[in-house]
């Protein structure tokens, strides 16, 4: 099936062709006609399925059916994302796919100066991509009018709830025109009861779109567990990267401190590495990601929240240096590989303390992940499991208390002061066109 039959305009087909896409992905086949028909949708789509184009292409087309207004004008489409990186990537997609259309877009997220964003908003934009915190900062400063929103997209809604954004989302919804006056598109990798509640409140007779079975990891991803003692994980990781000559590896740790420490240790092993997590400045995160994408950085060590939304084409290897405390995060983590038709490998280094976490993950996946013990790295049967607390084990030595990033999930965020809270902003991109 080619893109031509989906009802997209010539400008969009041209942009898609320039990207080298020859046929729509399964999610795109379903979302594009439904969104073009003006329906609300609730789409269960894993990351890497092409969902961004799945909502961006028809969104651009729908906005284009009405003539763009000149000068200062209210925003017509709002895309909310949980993280800065995802916001930046979605905004890039809007730019790319909309390059032949007379629509303007920009992105706002926290962690960078607000004034350039205010200036850009003042010029008038049709499509705004935003993280919830900075969006509300703009509303508080009266630099943004959301009363004319025609299309609302909640991208990675499950992660937004996990990150405690529900109150911010409610506040944003209260600023929009009524549900029935706008088109609402909700994307989520998993469907918890909380998401269903949000969907019920937000969507009008939505079309339910599901391309992969609920919580199922992409079939193209080969998953393997390597049982190993905790004290030998770093050694095993360096050995694997070196012996297989992996050139681009994304490694997950549970904590920010753990990410920093592992990146430093890998550097000592001669592997160019960088860490990204929520305590790093936006500049440092962007630099690390750019280095990783360009091949200068061989190993990127990340926490779950920092890695959310990273779109790195053809990433061949993802390593769970530590299993996540929340099983759904495993699905998100390994979704970084095996994207858009490519093969991928997801490796988990699992010590005795993590057996329960592994069982939880396997229960969620409804399948067992194959185990392979590497000769020389067999776990010592005399080591007994210890509980994992605060993202680290008791027997890890006196390294001070540390929390897994996102430990405050599900707690309502502190009352906003009207100033940036750190989550949410972005250099302005996308000038007016046409």
> Of 49 and 273, which has the nearer Cβ to ligand AMP?
49
Tokens encoding 283: 């500049």
The number of C-alpha atoms within 13 Å of 36 and in the hemisphere containing its C-beta is 16
Least Cβ distance, residue 83 to ligand AMP (angstroms): 13
Cα(206)–Cα(312) distance, rounded to whole angstroms? 31
Candidates 138, 233, 280, 339; binder of ligand AMP (CB under 6 A) is 339
Least Cβ distance, residue 89 to ligand AMP (angstroms): 7
Q: Please report the DSSP string for 286-303 in residue order.
A: HHHHHHHHHTS-SEEEE-
Least Cβ distance, residue 24 to ligand AMP (angstroms): 5
Q: How many helices (H) and strands (E) does the chain have?
A: 15, 15
Asked whether position 333 contacts ligand AMP by CB under 6 A, the answer is no
Residues 84/91, Cβ–Cβ less than 8 Å: no
Identify residues 277-316 at the interface with ligand AMP (CB under 6 A). Answer: 311, 313
Nearest to 255 by CA among 404, 44, 46, 63: 404
Residues 393/353, Cβ–Cβ less than 8 Å: yes
* Partners of 80 in beta bridges: 130, 154
Q: Binding mask 46-75 vs ligand AMP (x if CB under 6 A, - otherwise)?
A: -xxxxxxx----------------------
Asked whether position 21 contacts ligand AMP by CB under 6 A, the answer is yes
> Of 26 and 102, which has the nearer Cβ to ligand AMP?
26
> Of 48 and 430, which has the nearer Cβ to ligand AMP?
48
Choose the stretch contacting ligand AMP; rule: CB under 6 A; options: 7-15, 45-53, 279-287, 343-351: 45-53
Cα(216)–Cα(134) distance, rounded to whole angstroms? 33
Give the other-Cβ count within 10 Å of 15's Cβ.
Answer: 23
Q: Please report the DSSP string for 276-341 in residue order.
A: E-TTS-HHHHHHHHHHHHHTS-SEEEE-HHHHTT---TT--EEEESS--SSHHHHHHHHTTSS-TT
Cα(122)–Cα(222) distance, rounded to whole angstroms? 48
Q: Binding mask 340-369 vs ligand AMP (x if CB under 6 A, - otherwise)?
A: x-----------------------------
> Of 338 and 432, which has the nearer Cβ to ligand AMP?
338
Identify residues 24-43 at the interface with ligand AMP (CB under 6 A). Answer: 24-25, 28
Asked whether position 6 contacts ligand AMP by CB under 6 A, the answer is no
Choose the stretch contacting ligand AMP; rule: CB under 6 A; options: 44-52, 59-67, 148-156, 363-371: 44-52
Choose the stretch contacting ligand AMP; rule: CB under 6 A; options: 18-26, 138-146, 182-190, 360-368: 18-26
User: What 3-state class would DSSP assign to 333?
Assistant: helix
User: Total residues at the site for ligand AMP (CB under 6 A)?
Assistant: 15
> Would you tell me which residues interact with ligand AMP (CB under 6 A)?
21, 24-25, 28, 47-53, 311, 313, 339-340
């Amino acid at each position: 099936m080619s893109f031509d039959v989906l009802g997209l305009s010539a400008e969009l087909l041209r942009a898609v062709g320039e990207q080298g896409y020859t046929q729509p992905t399964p999610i795109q086949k379903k979302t594009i006609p439904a969104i073009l028909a003006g329906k609300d949708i609730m789409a269960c789509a894993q990351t890497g399925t092409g969902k961004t184009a799945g909502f961006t292409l028809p969104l651009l087309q729908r906005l284009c059916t009405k003539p763009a207004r000149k000068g200062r004008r209210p925003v017509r489409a709002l895309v909310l994302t949980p993280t800065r990186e995802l916001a930046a990537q979605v905004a890039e997609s809007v730019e790319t796919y909309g390059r032949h259309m007379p629509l303007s877009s920009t992105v706002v997220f926290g962690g960078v100066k607000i004034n350039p964003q205010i200036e850009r908003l003042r010029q008038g934009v049709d499509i705004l991509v935003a993280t919830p915190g900075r969006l509300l900062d703009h509303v508080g400063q009266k630099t943004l009018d959301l009363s004319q929103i025609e299309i609302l997209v909640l991208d990675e809604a499950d992660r937004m709830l996990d990150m405690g954004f529900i109150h911010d989302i409610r506040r944003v919804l209260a600023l929009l025109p009524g549900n029935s006056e706008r088109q609402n598109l909700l994307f989520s990798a998993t469907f918890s009861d909380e998401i269903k509640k949000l969907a019920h409140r937000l969507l009008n007779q939505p079309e339910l779109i599901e391309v992969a079975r609920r919580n199922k990891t992409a079939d193209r991803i080969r998953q393997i567990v390597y049982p190993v003692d905790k004290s030998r994980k770093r050694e095993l990781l360096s050995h694997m990267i070196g012996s297989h000559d992996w050139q681009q590896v994304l490694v997950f740790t549970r904590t920010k401190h753990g990410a920093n420490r592992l990146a430093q240790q890998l550097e000592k092993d001669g592997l160019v590495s960088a860490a990204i997590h929520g305590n790093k400045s936006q500049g440092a995160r962007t630099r690390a990601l750019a280095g990783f994408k360009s091949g200068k950085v061989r190993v990127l060590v990340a926490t779950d929240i920092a890695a959310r939304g990273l779109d790195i084409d053809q990433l061949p290897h993802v390593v769970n240096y530590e299993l996540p405390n929340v099983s759904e995060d495993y699905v998100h983590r390994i979704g970084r590989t095996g994207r858009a038709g490519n093969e991928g490998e997801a490796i988990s280094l699992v010590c005795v303390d993590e057996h329960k976490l592994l069982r939880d993950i396997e229960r969620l996946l409804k399948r067992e992940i194959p185990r392979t013990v590497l000769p020389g790295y067999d776990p010592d049967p005399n080591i007994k499991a210890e509980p994992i607390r605060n993202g680290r084990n008791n027997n890890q030595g006196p390294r001070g208390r540390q929390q897994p990033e996102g430990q405050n999930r599900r707690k309502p965020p502190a009352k906003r002061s009207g100033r940036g809270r750190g989550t949410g902003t972005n250099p302005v991109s996308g000038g007016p066109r046409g």
